[in-house]
Amino acid sequence: MGEQSLLCKVVKKDPEALKKLYDDYAPKLFSLCMRYMGNRADAEDVLHDGFIKILENLPGFRMGPACNLEGWMKRIMVNTALNYLRQRAKENRLISFDKVGEKIDVSDEEFSEEDTFPVIPEKEVILEMIGNLPTGYRTVFNMYVFEEYSHREIAAMLGCSEGTSKSQLSKARVMLRNSLASVFEKEKRY
């Protein structure tokens, strides 16, 4: 079934097409949700809400060379995740961009091009490292690295300054590097 015909059937709420859409895209999108939410339970909620939004907005989606289905679905899922985080922030679990986690003053210059990490651990371990980041760091890191938003866009979307976005990213990098180092250290021991 081609993507276009699949979409037509999904718009008509064909049960088989709905199943196929979910089976084809849910694993990738669930990975995205895990990255943003940091835990499985919240990621499941976001995935569900995101898929319902996708279904509601699908009649308005126009496939084209500059707009592929997967990219469009990912954008919806990211927005759903951000809304979910904002909602949580309302419930006094604010995403703080300056006070979360330990204070690490680090500049990007501390990293060099020669920094290499030869062994890539299990993807689940990588995912866990990202999940362990404080919410603010994690959100900025995901948006910048995986969704490739600029700091200006991130600042606009999260309602913070560009400087805050940059510092959050730097701190996230440092934390991740330390996490990687500790993982490699453990592996060396064994």
Partner 1 sequence: MDKKSHPIDTYFREALKDHRVEPPGSGREAFLKEAGKTGRAEKKRNLWVLGMSVVLLILSAGILVYITGDHQPDAERRQSITEPAAVTAEGSMSQAPAPGKTSGTTAQQVSGPTSPCQPVPLRQTTTCAPVMMPSNPGAIPYSGEEVMEIAENPGIPAPVRSSSFISPLVRITFQDFPYSGHAREIIPLETLSEKKEKKVTLRNESGYQAGFYVMPEVMFNTLEEEKFAWNLGAEGSYYFRDFSITTGVGLSLTKGTRELMVEYNDYLGTYSNLDSISFYWNENHTQVIPTYYMTDKDVWDSLMKLDYPKVIKRYLYLQVPLMLGYDFWKNERCSFGVRVGPVLSVMMDSKRLSDDYDPGKNRVIAVNNITPDRISLNWQIAGGLNFSYLPDGRWSLDLEPEARYYFNSVYEKSEIRKKPWSIGLKAVISLDIKK
Q: Applying CB under 8 A, which residues contact partner 1?
A: 13, 15, 18-19, 22-23, 26-28, 30-31, 34-35, 44, 47-48, 51-52, 55-56, 59-62, 83, 86, 89, 94-95, 97, 108, 111-113, 115-117, 120-121, 123, 126-127, 130, 144-146, 148, 150, 156-160, 164, 173, 176-177, 180
Residue 18 or 104 having the CB closest to partner 1: 18
CA distances from 43 to 29, 92, 103, 131 (A): 9, 20, 28, 11
Residue 60 or 102 having the CB closest to partner 1: 60
Question: Are the C-beta atoms of residues 149 and 159 closer than 8 Å to each other?
Answer: no
Nearest distance from C-beta of residue 190 to partner 1, angstroms: 21
Nearest distance from C-beta of residue 5 to partner 1, angstroms: 13
Nearest distance from C-beta of residue 136 to partner 1, angstroms: 10
Cα separation, 13 vs 8, in Å, equals 9
Nearest distance from C-beta of residue 134 to partner 1, angstroms: 15
Residue 1 or 16 having the CB closest to partner 1: 16
What tokens appear for 20 in the block? 């196929």
Cα separation, 63 vs 135, in Å, equals 33
Q: What is the Cα 158 distance to its own chain's centre? A: 14
Nearest distance from C-beta of residue 55 to partner 1, angstroms: 6
Please choose, from the candidates 120, 139, 143, 121, the residue with its C-alpha nearest in 3D space to the C-alpha of residue 131.
139
Residue 60 or 188 having the CB closest to partner 1: 60
Cα separation, 168 vs 98, in Å, equals 8
What φ, ψ does residue 64 adopt, rounded to 5°?
-160, 180
